[in-house]
A and B are shown apart, each in its own frame.
Chain A
Amino acid sequence: MIKSIKTWILVGFASFLLVACGQSGGGAGSKKSKTLDNTKKAGFVKCGVSQGLPGFSNADEAGNWTGIDVDVCRAVAAAVLGDADKVKYTPLSAKERFTALTSGEIDVLARNTTWTLSRDADIGLTFVGVNFYDGQGFMVRKASGINSVNDFRDGISACTNTGTTTELNMRDFFNSKNIKYEPIAFEKADEVVQAYDAGRCDTYTTDKSGLAAQRTKLSNPNEHKVLPETISKEPLGPVVRQGDSVWEDIVRWSLNTMIEAEEYGVNSSNASSLKDSDNPAIKRLVGAEGELGAAFGLDNDWSLRIIEQVGNYGESYKKHIADTGILPNRGPNELWTKGGILYVPPAR
Chain B
Amino acid sequence: MNFKNLKLNLSNKNKDLIPQILTVLFLILIVIYFTINAQSNMGNRGISFGFGFLSQESSFDITFSLIDYDGSHTYARAFLVGLLNTILVSAIGIFFATILGVTIGIARLSQNYLVAKSAEWYVEIFRNIPLILQIFFWYFAALRALPLTVDSINFYDISFLNVKGWYVPKFVWTNFSIFIYSIIFAFILIYFLAKYAQNQREKYGKQIPTLYISILLIIGLPLLTFLIGGVSLSFEIPELTQLSKTVFVYRGGVSIIPELISLALALSMYTATFIAENVRAGILGVSKGQKEAAASIGLTKGQILKLVVMPQALRIIIPPTTNQYLNLTKNSSLAAAIAYPDIVLVFAGTALMQTGRAIEIISITMLTYLSLSLSISVFMNWYNKKMAIKEK
Binding site for B on A (CB under 8 A): 1-2, 5, 8-9, 12, 16, 19-20, 23-24, 26-28, 94-95, 98-99, 102, 118-119, 122-124, 141, 143-146, 151-157, 159, 162-164, 167-168, 170-172, 175, 181-188, 191, 194-195, 198-200, 202, 241-243
Q: A168 and B337: CB pair below 8 A?
A: no
Partner of A12, one of B25, B37, B355: B25
Residues of chain A within 8 A of B10, CB atoms compared:
1-2
Q: B337 and A187: CB pair below 8 A?
A: yes
Residues of chain A within 8 A of B241, CB atoms compared:
155
Q: B356 and A202: CB pair below 8 A?
A: no
* CB within 8 Å for A184 and B45 given contacts A2-B8, A195-B143: no
Q: A146 and B247: CB pair below 8 A?
A: yes
Given A123-B357, A152-B243, A200-B164, 17 additional A-B pairs, CB 8 A = A8-B22, A27-B40, A27-B41, A27-B44, A98-B358, A122-B356, A144-B245, A145-B246, A153-B244, A157-B164, A181-B61, A182-B63, A184-B259, A185-B345, A186-B337, A187-B339, A191-B337
Report B3 CB to chain A, min CB distance, Å: 9
Report B317 CB to chain A, min CB distance, Å: 36
B60 within 8 A of A: yes
CA distance A134 to B43 in the complex (A): 33
Binding site for A on B (CB under 8 A): 8, 10, 18, 22, 25-26, 29, 33, 36-37, 40-48, 59-63, 71, 140, 143-144, 148, 163-164, 241, 243-247, 249, 251, 258-259, 336-339, 341, 345, 349-350, 352-358
CA distance A198 to B354 in the complex (A): 29
Most buried by A among B33, B43, B247, B337: B247
CA distance A199 to B358 in the complex (A): 34
Residues of chain A within 8 A of B356, CB atoms compared:
98, 118-119, 122-123
Partner of A183, one of B29, B41, B61: B61
Q: A28 and B353: CB pair below 8 A?
A: no
Residues of chain A within 8 A of B29, CB atoms compared:
12, 16
CA distance A280 to B24 in the complex (A): 70
* CB within 8 Å for A162 and B350 given contacts A16-B29, A98-B356, A185-B345: yes
CA distance A143 to B148 in the complex (A): 14
Partner of B22, one of A9, A164, A167, A182: A9
Residues of chain A within 8 A of B243, CB atoms compared:
152-156, 202
Q: B44 and A5: CB pair below 8 A?
A: no
CA distance A118 to B43 in the complex (A): 18
Give the A-B contact count at a CB cut-off of 8 A. Answer: 160
Residues of chain A within 8 A of B43, CB atoms compared:
27
Report A239 CB to chain B, min CB distance, Å: 12
CA distance A23 to B63 in the complex (A): 45
CA distance A181 to B246 in the complex (A): 17
Residues of chain A within 8 A of B258, CB atoms compared:
200
Q: A145 and B143: CB pair below 8 A?
A: no
Partner of B246, one of A1, A144, A152, A162: A144
Q: A146 and B244: CB pair below 8 A?
A: yes
Q: A163 and B349: CB pair below 8 A?
A: yes
CA distance A184 to B353 in the complex (A): 16
Residues of chain B within 8 A of A195, CB atoms compared:
143, 339
Q: B59 and A168: CB pair below 8 A?
A: yes
Nearest neighbor of A182 in chain B, beta-carbon distance = B63
Partner of B143, one of A19, A170, A185, A199: A199
Residues of chain B within 8 A of A94, CB atoms compared:
353
Nearest neighbor of B45 in chain A, beta-carbon distance = A124
Residues of chain A within 8 A of B339, CB atoms compared:
159, 162, 184-187, 191, 195
Partner of B140, one of A102, A194, A202: A194
CA distance A175 to B339 in the complex (A): 22
Q: B163 and A167: CB pair below 8 A?
A: no
Q: B61 and A171: CB pair below 8 A?
A: yes
Report A130 CB to chain B, min CB distance, Å: 20
Most buried by B among A163, A168, A185: A185
Nearest 4 pairs between A and B by C-beta?
A145-B245, A123-B356, A163-B353, A27-B44
Residues of chain B within 8 A of A200, CB atoms compared:
143, 163-164, 258
Q: A191 and B338: CB pair below 8 A?
A: yes
Report A216 CB to chain B, min CB distance, Å: 20
Residues of chain B within 8 A of A12, CB atoms compared:
22, 25-26, 29
Q: B345 and A187: CB pair below 8 A?
A: yes
CA distance A28 to B71 in the complex (A): 37
Q: A124 and B47: CB pair below 8 A?
A: yes
CA distance A315 to B247 in the complex (A): 42
Residues of chain A within 8 A of B352, CB atoms compared:
95, 163
Nearest neighbor of A188 in chain B, beta-carbon distance = B337
Partner of A241, one of B45, B61, B246, B350: B45
CA distance A172 to B58 in the complex (A): 12
Residues of chain A within 8 A of B37, CB atoms compared:
23
Q: B47 and A123: CB pair below 8 A?
A: yes
Report A144 CB to chain B, min CB distance, Å: 5
Residues of chain A within 8 A of B148, CB atoms compared:
199
CA distance A153 to B244 in the complex (A): 8
Residues of chain B within 8 A of A184, CB atoms compared:
63, 259, 339
Residues of chain A within 8 A of B163, CB atoms compared:
198-200
Nearest neighbor of A172 in chain B, beta-carbon distance = B59
Most buried by A among B10, B25, B243, B352: B243
Nearest neighbor of A163 in chain B, beta-carbon distance = B353
Report A151 CB to chain B, min CB distance, Å: 6
Report A301 CB to chain B, min CB distance, Å: 32
